[in-house]
């Protein structure tokens, strides 16, 4: 099913905050938000990216993100993938896409550089 940006879109900010809360709860490494507000052809409002150091941590982060977004925003993922090998888990909330990497995969794909036109916000751990 093709994705259209004009379809019904919940406010992204509460979803982004819930995603970050889930990530930080499981000690995600170097979380960032890439905002695409100044890009005309962006397929979503933002990417939220982090990495972990093991398969167990990657899966725990993904579970915490899904649980927190459901609890705080009432939203379920539109699409999910990557749970088979847990090297790169993607959770799509339509307006916000979550990328949870193992550290070596994050370095390899380097989404922050690939989407260099985005506004990049680094998130500090509490």
Distance of CA 54 to the CA centre of its chain: 18
pLDDT reading at 115 higher than 90: no
pTM: 0.88
pLDDT average, residue stretch 76-99: 95
| Residue 7 confidence (pLDDT) above 70 | no
Assess if residue 1 is contained within a domain.
no
**63 found inside a domain:** yes
Q: Is residue 123 part of a domain?
A: no
- Give the pLDDT band of residue 116 (cuts 50, 70, 90): confident
Take residue 65 and report the two structure tokens written for it.
Answer: 């993100």
| Residue 122 is assigned to a structural domain of this protein | no
CA distances from 23 to 29, 67, 103 (A): 8, 11, 15
User: Distance of CA 70 to CAs 1, 32, 102, 111, Å?
Assistant: 23, 21, 24, 26
Task: Please report, for residues 8, 15, 50, 124, 126, the alpha-carbon distance to residue 99 in angstroms, rounded to integers and kept in the order given.
Answer: 22, 14, 7, 17, 21
Evaluate whether residue 126 is within a structural domain: no
- Read off the pLDDT of each residue in 74-80 and give the average, rounded to a whole number: 94
Number of domains in the chain: 1
* 7 domain-assigned: no
The Cβ-side half-sphere exposure at 1, using a 13 Å CA radius, reads 6
What is the residue range of 46's domain?
Answer: 12-113
Tell me: pLDDT of 1 over 50: no
Q: Residue 28 domain-assigned? A: yes
Kindly state whether residue 2 falls inside one of the protein's structural domains: no
DSSP lists the bridge partners of residue 101 as 51, 88
Measured from the Cβ of residue 83, the count of other Cβ atoms closer than 10 Å reads 13
* pLDDT number for residue 6: 38
Read off the CATH number of the domain in which 67 is found. 3.30.460.10
What gap in Å lies between CA 105 and CA 103, rounded to an integer?
6
Report percent pLDDT > 70 for the chain.
91
């Amino acid at each position: 099913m093709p994705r259209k940006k004009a379809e019904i879109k919940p406010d992204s900010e509460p979803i982004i905050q819930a995603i970050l809360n889930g990530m930080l709860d499981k000690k995600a490494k170097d979380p960032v938000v890439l905002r695409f507000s100044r890009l005309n052809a962006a397929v979503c409002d933002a990417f939220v990216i982090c990495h972990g150091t093991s398969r167990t941590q990657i899966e725990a982060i993904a579970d915490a993100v899904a649980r927190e977004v459901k609890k705080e925003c009432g939203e379920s993922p539109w699409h999910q993938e990557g749970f088979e090998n847990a090297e790169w888990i993607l959770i799509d909330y339509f307006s916000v896409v979550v990328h949870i990497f193992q550290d070596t995969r994050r370095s390899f794909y380097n989404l922050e550089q690939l989407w260099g036109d985005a506004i990049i916000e680094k998130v500090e751990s509490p």
